Structure 1
Amino acid sequence: MLLFISKRVGIGLGLIFVVLTLIFLAIHAVPGDPAAVLASGGSSGTASPEAVEHMREVLGLNQPLSTQYLDYLRGFVTGNLGTSFRDGQPVLATILGRLPNTLELVLIACVLGSLVGVGFGALAGRFGGWIDSFVSGYSSLAISIPIYVLGTVFILIFALNLGWLPAGGYVSWQEDPIGHLRMLILPSIALSIGLSGVAARMARASVIETNRMDWVRTAKSWGLDSARVFRRHVLRNSLTPVITAIGLEVGIMLGATVLAERIFNYPGLSALLIDAVLNRDYPVVQGIVILISVLFISINIVVDLVYRVLDPRVK
């Protein structure tokens, strides 16, 4: 088990290094000079050459590319992701101020989507019939409807017409716990719909395939209770591919929060990313992309470990 974990962590560290390098190259390949933009107060081309050169020196852009790359890697290892061009605040502190909001939204959406999807898929795979038809139709709709459509429909129905829930916004847990939870309901459900559709489809197919195995038929032929056989033998062995799919979808969900946070005016990490892109705040953009990439890789490592626990035959 220790060797399995070491290999997965080693692969994850290698992927993080590749991602860091690609992000560095992509940022430096973007057209335009951030020093000229900052020196001109946002209007590129109006600053004097002396002001632009001074700004390049302040930002460290006058250093050789190799030196900038090594400083960039050293900053990542030490937790120093640079300083925001816009407000002069440390990038890591700015990101960490928004990260809990996004993680809370993604975690709730992941739990809701996984429970609904696996539950629906397991029922469809076990009983078939009209339940199977219903789940198949639901999963197709859940996967195909974009989140911005779902979010808009939810706001129109539950916020504007019925008035049951707020249309968006944010209030801290310490200030108003009930209001905090009410404002999370619509965005978390909208974000979880797509995941539930993928999980339901995967769980259904996996349960049907596992039900056809010889050892399942043998267990039933011994007179064991069908519900017990399903819980202890079919469902557990059906979860391994579902866990893999959910892990990938959670990583994708980190990117999908861009639309969800915009639609519901939720102050998360993705909203900060959009603002940073619009303001050409490259250190913040770079820091957010790095953090999301590290989270995505870490989630996949955890999924591999869970996969190993569910199925000890995996090596």
Structure 2
Amino acid sequence: MFLYLAKRIGSGIILLALVTTITFAMLFGATENVAQNILGENATAQDIAALETRLGLDRPLLVQYGDWMARAVAGDLGQSWLMGERVSRILSTRLPVTLSMVSLAIVIIAVVSALLGILAAVRGGWADRFIQLISVVGFAMPNFWLGLILVVIFALNLKWLPATGYVSFLASPTGWIASLALPVAAIVLSGIASASQQVRGAMIDALRQDYVRTLRARGVSQTSVLFRHALRNAMPAALTVLSVQFIALLGGAAIIERVFAIPGLGSLTVQASLSGDIPVVMGIVVTAIVVVVIVNITIDIINAWVNPKVRLS
């Protein structure tokens, strides 16, 4: 286990170095207007040049990246050029918002997909065809479009839920649920579509195995066969899909956060990228990679715990 964790952390560090290097190089060409954006349209050429010198934009790319990397290793992600706050402080307020939305969506996707996938694999017939229909609709319907429909129905017409905004869990648990109900509903449909198909296929393969026939011949109950044996063998494929979906939702949260005016990491990414706020963008990149590495390691450990046939190496 220790060797496995050391390898995964080492590969995560290498990934972090490669991605940050590429991202910094890509962003370097967008820094020419940063000083202008900060000072405004009426800024003089002298003021712009002075600010570029203070921010270090007049230095070579390698020097800038080396300074950023040295500070990042020490835990200092720098200060936002536009907002004037420490990047770590900005991320500490935005990341929990996005993680709460994505985590809640993943939990719902996991539960519903498992139930639908098992139902389709066991029952077949109309149940299987119904789930196939749900999958097609889920794949075809853009989540932002579904979000707009949900806002019109449940927020504007029925007035059951707020159309926009976010309430933290600590401030009000019920308000937190209400503020996330529509955005989470908008993103779970496509997730359920793909995850339920994976569960269905993995369960069908598991139920065709010889050990299932042996268990049934010994009089083991159908519930035990499904949930204690077949599902455990089908879970690695489903968990892999869920981990991919978690990462995809984390990266694609910007659209949903824009639709519902949620102050999360996605909307911050769009804002910082358009304005050329490199310290914030780099901080987001570092945070996203760390989350990806943690999620992948966690999924692998859960796989090894649920299914003893899976070994960490």
TM-score range, shorter-chain basis? over 0.9
In the superposition, the TM-score normalised over structure 2's length comes to 0.92
- In the alignment, is the contact (CA less than 8 A) between 1:23 and 1:286 conserved in 2? yes
Matches within 5 A, 1:186-205: 186-205=182-201
Query: 2:261 matched to 1:262?
Result: no
**Whole-Å separation in 2 of the counterparts to 1:174 and 1:32:** 38
In structure 1, what residue type is equivalent to 2:32?
A: D
User: Could you give the per-residue CA deviations for residues 207-241 of structure 1, whole angstroms, max 9, x where no partner exists?
Assistant: 00111111211222222222211121101100101
- 2:175 aligned residue (179, 184, 188): 179
1:12 alignment partner in structure 2? 12
C-alpha distance in 2 between matches for 1:10 and 1:293: 13
Q: Which residue of 2 aligns with 1:160?
A: 156
Q: Is the 8 A contact 1:125 1:207 kept in 2?
A: yes
1:146 & 1:178 partners in 2: Cα distance?
Answer: 28
Q: 1:34 to 1:217 in 2, by over 3 A?
A: same
What are structure 2's unaligned runs of at least 5 residues?
A: none
Change (3 A) 1:26 1:209: same
CA distance in structure 1 between the aligned counterparts of 2:246 and 2:40, rounded to whole angstroms: 36
For the pair 1:311 / 2:307, whether they are aligned, the reply is yes
C-alpha distance after superposition, 1:166-216 (max 9, x if no partner): 111123444443223211111112122222111101000000011111121
- Following superposition, the deviation at residue 33 of structure 1 comes to 0.9
- Residues 200, 292 of structure 1: CA spacing in aligned structure 2 closer, same or farther, 3 A cutoff? same
Structure 2 counterpart SS, 1:33 = helix
The answer on whether the counterparts of 2:37 and 2:275 sit within 8 Å (CA) in structure 1 is no
Q: 1:307 to 1:174 in 2, by over 3 A?
A: closer
Letter in 2 for 1:232: R
Q: CA RMSD in A?
A: 2.0
Q: Describe the SS at the equivalent of 1:61.
A: coil
Question: Which letter does structure 1 place at the counterpart of 2:36?
Answer: V
Give the 5 Å matches for 1:1-315.
1-28=1-28, 30-31=29-30, 33-34=32-33, 36-38=35-37, 41-43=39-41, 47-48=44-45, 50-313=46-309, 314=311, 315=313
Q: Which TM-score applies when normalising by structure 1?
A: 0.91
Q: State how far apart, in whole Å, the 2-side matches of 1:177 and 1:9 are.
A: 35
User: Aligned pair count?
Assistant: 311
**SS of structure 2 residue aligned to 1:224:** coil
- Return 5+ residue gaps in structure 1 as ranges: none
Is the CA contact (8 Å cut-off) linking 1:199 and 1:245 kept in structure 2? yes
| Letter paired with 1:6 | A
Amino acid at match of 1:53: A
Shift of 1:32: 5.2
Give the 3-state SS of the residue equivalent to 2:252 in structure 1. helix
Q: SS in structure 2 opposite 1:163?
A: coil
